[in-house]
Amino acid sequence: MADKVKDPVCGMEIRPEDAVSSVDHEGRTLYFCSHVCHETFVKDPHRYGHPAEEHGGHAGHGGH
Ligand SMILES: [Zn+2]
């Protein structure tokens, strides 16, 4: 009964033991359903590194 985690790139819920790969990001471990998602994250980690912000609001993100 492992907790599911969310693939930050595609949003799919997976179990850590089913993850193809994982990465350490700012002290937490993120899991990916595929190597494609992993590579996508690595290319642009700050875009996906906010798993707590799931509701699509842009509060706190100042435009630039
Ligand atoms: Zn994925």
Q: How many angstroms does the Cα of residue 26 sit away from the middle of ligand 1?
A: 19
Q: Specify if 21 maps to a domain.
A: yes
CA torsion angle 16 7 28 36 (round to 10): 100
Question: Looking at the whole model, is its pTM more than 0.75?
Answer: no
Q: How many angstroms does the Cα of residue 37 sit away from the middle of ligand 1?
A: 5
Find the domain containing 9 and state its range: 5-48
Q: How many angstroms does the Cα of residue 54 sit away from the middle of ligand 1?
A: 15
Domains contained in the chain, number = 1
Contact 6, 39 (CB under 8 A): no
Q: How many angstroms does the Cα of residue 3 sit away from the middle of ligand 1?
A: 17
Q: Specify if 61 maps to a domain.
A: no
Per-residue pLDDT 10s for the chain (64 aa) are: 668 999 999 999 999 999 999 999 989 999 999 999 999 999 999 898 765 555 555 555 554 5
